[in-house]
Amino acid sequence: MISKLFFILTVCCLSLSSCFTSMHHTQDKALVKNANIDETLKITKDEIKKESISQSLGLWVLRDQEVTPAQAKTISELYLSHIDSMKNGFNIWHASWAISNLYRFGDDAVKAELEIAYQKAKTQPERIEKKGQKKIANSHINGEKTVTGFIHAGGRSYAKRHLVVPGNKKYVQSYEEYLKKEKK
């Protein structure tokens, strides 16, 4: 009995510790060196059309990266054209969290491109039905501390398959590589 309880506690501790080892509150710790935002945006455009549980994650993998005003404009347009059709609380949360972080980390020109999307993102937790999910989403989108990083194994795994980082073999190397893997 004691060994079974020890085993369960050990597994719980290990799984919980892996969930938060990549959680930060600063952009610099969450930046992925040499990320190619333009190539990643091609993937984002494909992912957001899927209307699946991962619909928002193409935006989410960008949330802690540095973007130009032109990239911010594209991100804002993608968000605004899809957020109202997102029904899943997870997608509403993660897409809006992406906009919030990008806005908070952006310079004045980036903020100008994201302003309308950011104002909309701040209200989106109200659309989420699950109370616990709504609370976490609200803290990520509207909280005093900005939450950064891929946070858990699932997030890191998704990022490695959808964030283009040429030269870093842990990540997808190009939009074309992503397309080849999607066809499999």
Q: What is the pLDDT of residues 30-51, one digit of tens each?
A: 889 999 999 999 999 999 999 8
pLDDT in tens, 20-32: 456 666 776 788 9
Q: Could you tell me the pTM of the whole model? A: 0.87
Q: Tell me the three state secondary structure of residue 63.
A: coil
pLDDT in tens, 99-144: 999 999 999 999 999 999 999 999 999 999 999 999 999 999 999 9
Q: Which residue from 40, 50, 136 is spatially nearest to 85, judged by alpha carbons?
A: 50
34: DSSP letter: T
Give the domain ranges of the chain.
Answer: 2-183
